[in-house]
Amino acid sequence: MLKGKNITGRLIAVMYCLVMFELLVRAPEGQVAHHPMWYYSMIPLGAVVIYTIFDKFIKFDFFKEDER
């Protein structure tokens, strides 16, 4: 599997991406969501920040059994 990679950080980053996408796409019925283009760049940037925090600073992985 992914040796040395933090699976918890990746899972939380993917969940962040899905939630942010849903929030940004949501608009009232019959209307288009009007957001500046930099709003959509927050999805990958936020995922990178979350993954980096879990991989470099927290270093806790819920899915690895040898660290428990």
Mean pLDDT to the nearest integer, 38-66: 84
Nearest to 54 by CA among 14, 20, 18, 26: 14
Q: Give exposure, 10-31, as e/b (b: 16+ Cβ within 10 Å).
A: bbbbeebeeebeeeeeeeeeee
Q: What is the pTM of this model?
A: 0.74
Where would I find the H helices in 26-56? Answer: 37-52
At residue 2, the pLDDT reads 53
Q: What is the pLDDT of residue 17?
A: 92
Residue 25 clears pLDDT 90, i.e. is over it: no
| Residue 50, number of CB atoms within 10 A of its CB | 19
